Amino acid sequence: MANTYHQIYLQTVFAVKYRNAMIEKTWQKDLFGVIGNLINETGCKTMIVNGVEDHVHCFFGLKPTVAVSELMKTVKAKSSKYINDHSLTPERFEWQEGYGVFSYSQSQIDAVYKYIQNQEEHHKKYTFREEYVDFLEKFKISYDEKYIFEDLI
């Protein structure tokens, strides 16, 4: 619509199934590029996609006509298909069910960007579980520990 103005900044976080360390540095940047392009194809605007071997952070401007749940469903499905079609992992690649989504204001853009940009350094000190629970608590999101992560049985 011509007179629709918006400013919606979101960070999504999602993990490899069972939090396995499967995202290798040799193809990590290609994967993050694919994920960024998938976000952009919906009319949203990718600011940065980065992560480490077991999870990914996406920071983007959300187009108001796009449902976050549909966006994440598409991003996760098509990026795992990309990984499997290119045989980047020795076994079938899957993302963990679910994701975290957190909203930010204009004044927080630089800090969030830098935080995501520095994932490798950040995870020398903190595990993904610690980081994720910290997000949930900082954003005052109620959660049940048993539903946060699916463990390998």
Write the pLDDT tens digit of every residue in 6-25: 999 999 999 999 889 999 99
Q: Is residue 15 part of a domain?
A: yes
Q: Is the pLDDT of residue 152 over 90?
A: no
Q: What is the pLDDT of residues 94-103, one digit of tens each?
A: 999 999 999 9
Query: Residue 78 — very low, low, confident or very high, per pLDDT cuts 50/70/90?
Result: very high
Q: Is residue 93 part of a domain?
A: yes
Q: Is residue 2 part of a domain?
A: no
**For the chain, how many structural domains are there in total?**
1
Query: Residue 1 — very low, low, confident or very high, per pLDDT cuts 50/70/90?
Result: low
Q: Is residue 82 part of a domain?
A: yes
Q: Is residue 16 part of a domain?
A: yes
Domain hosting 88: range is 9-148
Q: Is residue 4 part of a domain?
A: no
Residues β-bridged to residue 9: 61, 104
Q: Is residue 35 part of a domain?
A: yes
CATH code, domain carrying 101 = 3.30.70.1290
pTM of the model: 0.93
Q: What is the pLDDT of residues 39-52, one digit of tens each?
A: 999 999 999 999 99
Q: Is residue 153 part of a domain?
A: no
